[in-house]
């Protein structure tokens, strides 16, 4: 059974993330969406909130598992019995960072292979940070995130 890990902060999950997950789910028997616990960033949503939003956003994709991890991705991949990581690329600047990460993971765990999926053109500009910024400034984030995620972002920003 082929398993791929799709790591990220998913703070929040966007339609671009869902596009990559959906495409990976057609290529692999199982996709593990691995939410990174990054202590250096101040998250908008808690780990539990992100996991719940991912679950609610991916109800139509059956061959996924949603998990969280901290520490090295190379160790997590090994722990999950996988050998492949998938990463989405939006622009050339993404490639430089992702290529560096892929080589580092390969050095730490020679069994790890990284595959890159280019973003679909309609999501090439989209990032979680951009979604949060547009929402915080009162812009419409329809078309950036699933409706459930949009509602949770607006609830969190404008409650009270």
Is 153:145 a contact under the CB 8 Å cutoff? yes
Dihedral angle sign, alpha carbons of residues 120, 8, 56, 130: negative
Q: Catalytic annotation on 90?
A: yes
Torsion angle, alpha carbons of 135, 138, 139, 141, to 10:
40
Count CB neighbours of 98 within 10 A. Answer: 17
Q: CB-side exposure of 160: number of CA atoms within 13 Å?
A: 2
* Catalytic, out of 2, 41, 79, 107: 41
Q: Catalytic annotation on 17?
A: yes
* Catalytic, out of 17, 87, 132, 152: 17
Which are the contacts of 38, defined by CB distance < 8 A and separation ≥ 6?
9, 70
* Catalytic, out of 80, 90, 106, 156: 90
Q: Catalytic annotation on 41?
A: yes
* Catalytic, out of 9, 25, 119, 128: 128
Which residues carry out catalysis?
A: 17, 41, 90, 128
């Amino acid at each position: 059974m082929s398993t791929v890990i799709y790591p990220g902060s998913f703070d929040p999950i966007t339609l671009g993330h869902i596009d990559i997950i959906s495409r990976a789910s057609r290529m692999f028997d199982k996709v593990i969406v691995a939410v990174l616990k990054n202590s250096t960033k101040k998250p908008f949503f808690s780990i539990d909130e992100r996991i719940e939003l991912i679950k609610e956003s991916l109800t139509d994709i059956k061959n996924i598992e949603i998990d969280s991890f901290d520490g090295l991705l190379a160790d997590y991949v090994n722990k999950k019995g996988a050998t492949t990581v998938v990463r989405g690329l939006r622009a050339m600047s993404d490639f430089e960072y992702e290529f560096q990460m892929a080589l580092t993971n390969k050095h730490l765990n020679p069994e790890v292979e990284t595959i890159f999926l280019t973003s679909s053109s309609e999501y090439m500009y989209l990032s979680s940070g951009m979604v949060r910024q547009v929402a915080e400034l009162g812009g419409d984030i329809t078309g950036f995130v699933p409706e459930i995620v949009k509602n949770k972002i607006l609830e969190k920003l404008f409650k009270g």
